[in-house]
């Protein structure tokens, strides 16, 4: 049997204090990133990255003012799209819908796609947020999929520091039904199933404030995974740690 080890360690730290300049964006909704089948298979293949890749990626990044406007709105959508080469596009889009069901219960739908040579993530999240006190809420969320093996489920504690400042502790069980509801031969080795834990700290200026300001910091740890592909006769191992920060601030002259 061929035994292959794929360990990914990602430490991303992007800091930007923007008065009149732009910087490379960071993860879209980092609290919902997780190991996916597409990214797992992609680690075995070398992406076609040429000398212009980073400049192209920066060129096609969404404008930084969009972040404050996006998070301040109860419903929002944006999209960025651009060509890398004759076979690949950069494709980023995100959608959020927020609706109060009761005075203390909110429904959230979050969708995003982040596809380039570094990241390949597509997620659609259904979430219920229960307000416990003015400062604290609990959240239960799930990502349903056509394939039951890809279903994710999670819980989070939300700390509301202000109307536009939310601190979130999250714990996601990734592909938690794969062992029981899988139409393929692969499985996670017991005791080594993927779990994602971490926090996001997100602040944005109110919707009508000008200029729109935004600050986000996040830390995400994806636990060690042992993924047994019996048919292909190899074992895949994975672990990932990500930390990032970014901002757009209007600095006094």
Instruction: Flag whether 14 is in a domain.
Output: no
Give the position of tokens 């601030």: 249
Residues pairing with 114 in the sheet? 92, 121
pLDDT at 18: 31
Instruction: Identify which of 41-45, 109-113, 225-229 has the greatest average pLDDT.
Output: 109-113
- Better pLDDT: 18 or 40: 40
Is the pLDDT at 177 greater than 90? The verdict is no
CATH number, domain of 90, equals: 2.40.160
Is the pLDDT at 78 greater than 50? The verdict is yes
Instruction: Flag whether 188 is in a domain.
Output: yes
- Better pLDDT: 253 or 211: 211
Instruction: Flag whether 7 is in a domain.
Output: no
Instruction: Flag whether 24 is in a domain.
Output: no
The string of pLDDT tens digits covering residues 30-55 is 999 998 887 776 655 555 666 777 77
DSSP for the chain, please give it. ------------------SS-------SSGGG----HHHHHHTTS-----TTHHHHHHHHSPPTHHHHHHHHSSEEEEEEEEE-SSS-EEEEEEEEEEEEEETTEEEEEEEEEEESSS-EEEEEEEEEEEE-SSSEEEEEEEE--SSGGG-EEEEEEEEEEETTEEEEEEEEETTTTTTTS-SSS-EEPTT---EEEEEEEEEE--TT-SS--EEEEEEEEEEEEEEEETTTTEEEEEEEEEEEEEEE-----
Instruction: Flag whether 21 is in a domain.
Output: no
pTM (two decimals): 0.82
> Can the peptide bond before residue 202 be classed as cis, meaning omega within 30 degrees of 0?
no
Instruction: Flag whether 135 is in a domain.
Output: yes
- Better pLDDT: 59 or 42: 59
Residue ranges making up the domain that contains 100: 30-248
Phi, psi for 6 (deg, rounded to 5): -120, 105
Instruction: Flag whether 121 is in a domain.
Output: yes
State both tokens at 48: 């076609």
Of all residues in the chain, what percent carry a pLDDT higher than 70? 83
Instruction: Flag whether 15 is in a domain.
Output: no
Tally of structural domains, the chain: 1
Residue range 137-153: mean pLDDT, rounded: 93
């Amino acid at each position: 049997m061929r035994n292959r080890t794929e360990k990914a360690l990602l430490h991303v730290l992007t800091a930007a204090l923007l008065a009149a300049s732009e910087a490379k964006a960071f993860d879209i909704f980092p609290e919902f990133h997780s190991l996916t089948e597409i990214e797992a298979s992609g680690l075995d293949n070398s992406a076609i990255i040429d000398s212009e890749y980073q400049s192209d990626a920066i060129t096609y990044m969404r404008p930084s003012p969009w972040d404050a406007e996006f998070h301040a709105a109860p419903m929002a959508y944006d999209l960025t799209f651009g060509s890398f080469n004759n076979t690949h596009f950069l494709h980023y889009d995100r959608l959020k819908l927020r609706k109060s069901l009761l005075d203390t219960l909110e429904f959230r739908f979050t969708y995003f796609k982040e596809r380039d040579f570094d990241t390949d993530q597509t997620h659609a999240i259904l979430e219920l947020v229960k307000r416990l006190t003015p400062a604290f809420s609990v959240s239960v969320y799930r990502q349903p999929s056509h394939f039951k093996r890809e279903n994710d489920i999670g819980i989070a504690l939300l700390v509301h520091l202000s109307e536009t400042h939310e601190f979130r502790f999250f714990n996601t069980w990734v592909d938690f039904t794969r062992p029981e509801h899988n139409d393929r031969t692969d499985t996670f080795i017991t005791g080594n199933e993927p779990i994602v834990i971490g926090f996001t700290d997100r602040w944005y200026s109110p919707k009508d404030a000008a200029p729109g300001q935004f600050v986000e910091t996040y830390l995400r740890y994806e636990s060690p995974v042992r993924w047994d592909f019996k048919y292909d006769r190899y074992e895949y191992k994975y672990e990932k740690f990500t930390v990032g920060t970014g901002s757009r601030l209007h600095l006094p002259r």
